Amino acid sequence: MKYNIPRGTFDILPQDSYKWQFVMDSFRKIASRFGYEEISTPIFETAELFERSSGESSDVVQKEMYRFTDRKERIFALRPEGTAPVVRSYVENHMDVLSSRTKLYYIGPMFRYDRPQAGRYRQFYQYGIEFIGSDNPYYDAEVIAIEMLWLQELGLKNLRLEINSVGCPTCAADYDAALREFFRPALQDLCPDCVKRFDLKPRRLLDCKVASCKPFRVGAPSQLDYLDAPCTEHFAKVCESLTAMDISYIINPAIVRGLDYYTNTAFEVIYEGLGAQNSLAGGGRYNGLIEQIGGKSIPAIGFAGGFERLLLALEKEQIELGKRICPDAYLICLGEKARVAIYTYLNHLRQKGLYIEYDPDKSSLKAQFKAADTSGASYAIIVGDSELEAKTVNLKNLVTGEQVSLPLDGGEAVYAILHQDH
């Protein structure tokens, strides 16, 4: 019986895993530089956590969530996103008592049942930042700055930051009313999902992917015209802070974000050249979420980005993402006596922290040199019975062909040369 990988998922194979490690390490570094600490939550949570936070009418909950019932009939979901679990943990662990400012980041797989295509998978890996504890527009700009600085440091060009404000629940209600007025005449021509959205969340009409719905939103009212005075001021300050931080952006009133919990700032980072799935990261402020899932009323802002699309973009720009690890040296052993005696020497080299490859199943000089070449090692250490008697080893530089004889000591002589090369 042969088994295939589930549709919309992928293996990270050894020839690629170093690239993933590189971008993940790099994200950890930038997050730490801004004072963020890592949090890891389970990949499944009570389904209701997502239903309440993302909104019953969101696509993620309606169509994309992997829901399952366990043996005790409890309903869980594979997490479709990272913010609700982080907030659940924040509330459950009383993090607000520990500090008035909480800076958390996460990395991990998310799950959405969506139609797979380039840059869209059913299991995908996200990185995310959550800043909890202040409504100050400075933090909106700082959170955006982390993402932009990181992507620029990785070497990406052609990035576009788009921002919007979706206001607070009061301005959102006025805006929803205006949208219903606007879309009412077209109601019979919209897709069935949009008809539902019309009643539940008219803002989602702006985000519909169905081609026949798109023309109807031309000329739709803009959320920015329906912001109350505090929300208008908040958004103006976010824009002002971004400009002061030398971060370019465009205002796109069509950014609504898929999930219900967003308030005020919403943003997306677009990389042109990835086709339909060109959003690298997105996020926004979610001032009501903590209270909504059982905590105090504490403002917060965050974002999430996808590693798959990031890797596609980096590959497109031919940016090198670290290197596959190669041995420091390949140990070549000739002769029966040497074969046993060499284990002690091999052990000494490894205890010094060197990565040494050795294959006891290969006996000919030719086979061992071939294996040394394939391994990518820069050096071969050659020991035969005569070297063993003379208490020496030969160290050959596989790049220059140069060879030196060194003492068969506790590994110090070889280590000194290999270490210099590091």
Residue 305 binds ligand AMP (CB under 6 A): yes
Work out whether 126 is an interface residue with ligand AMP (CB under 6 A).
yes
From the number of C-beta atoms within 10 Å of its C-beta (0-12, 13-18, 19+), residue 221 rates as: middle
**CA dist., res. 270 & res. 306, Å (int):** 12
Rounded to 5 degrees, φ, ψ at 355 are: -100, 105
**CB-based closest residue to ligand AMP:** 306
For the chain, the straight-line distance linking the first and the last C-alpha, in angstroms and rounded, comes to 47
207 binds ligand AMP per the rule CB under 6 A: no
Q: How far is the CB of 168 from ligand AMP (least distance, A)?
A: 20
Q: Closer CB to ligand AMP, residue 283 or residue 411?
A: 283
Nearer to ligand AMP, 122 or 348 (CB): 122
Instruction: List the x/- string, 223-262, binding to ligand AMP by CB under 6 A.
Output: -----------------------------------x----
Q: How many CB atoms lie within 10 A of CB 346?
A: 19
| Binding-site member from 19, 112, 217, 396 for ligand AMP (CB under 6 A) | 112
In the complex with ligand AMP, which residue's Cβ is closer, 270 or 338? 270
* Spatial strand order in the sheet of 75-78: 44-46, 75-78, 67-69
The yes or no reply on residue 306 touching ligand AMP (CB under 6 A) is yes
Is residue 309 at the binding interface for ligand AMP, with CB under 6 A as the rule?
Answer: yes
Amino acid code (one letter) for 355: Y
- Total residues contacting ligand AMP by CB under 6 A comes to 18
For ligand AMP, the closer CB: 165 or 368: 165
Q: Shortest distance, CB of residue 100 to ligand AMP, whole angstroms?
A: 27
The region of 91-99, 185-193, 208-216, 301-309 touching ligand AMP under the rule CB under 6 A is 301-309
**Which of 127, 155, 143, 130 shows the shortest CA–CA distance to 25?**
127
SS3 state of residue 390? helix
Scanning the structure block, which residue is given the tokens 């980072």? 269
In whole angstroms, the minimum distance from the beta carbon of 369 to ligand AMP comes to 44
Ramachandran area for residue 394 (φ above 0: left; ψ -120 to 50: alpha; else beta):
beta
Nearer to ligand AMP, 105 or 358 (CB): 105
What does the alpha-carbon distance between residue 286 and residue 300 come to, in Å, rounded to a whole number? 5
308 forms part of the interface with ligand AMP (CB under 6 A):
yes
For 345, the enclosing helix (H) or strand (E) is helix 336-351
Instruction: Compute the least distance from the CB of residue 325 to ligand AMP, in Å.
Output: 27
Q: Which two tokens stand for residue 69?
A: 């019932």
**What is the CA 335 to chain-centroid distance, rounded?**
50
Of 276 and 416, CB closest to ligand AMP:
276
Rule CB under 6 A: say whether 121 interacts with ligand AMP.
yes
Q: Which CB, 107 or 395, lies closer to ligand AMP?
A: 107
Q: Can you count the helices (H) and strands (E) in the chain?
A: 15, 16
Among 114, 176, 359, 409, binds ligand AMP (CB under 6 A): 114
Our finding on whether 160 is near ligand AMP (CB under 6 A) is: no
Token duo for residue 252: 């796109």
Segment 259 to 288, residues that bind ligand AMP, using CB under 6 A:
279-282
Stretch that binds ligand AMP, among 18-26, 41-49, 116-124, 399-407 (CB under 6 A): 116-124
Q: 394: closest CA among 327, 338, 336?
A: 338
Residue 139 in 3-state DSSP?
helix
> Which positions lie near ligand AMP, rule CB under 6 A?
81, 112, 114, 119-121, 124, 126, 258, 279-282, 304-306, 308-309
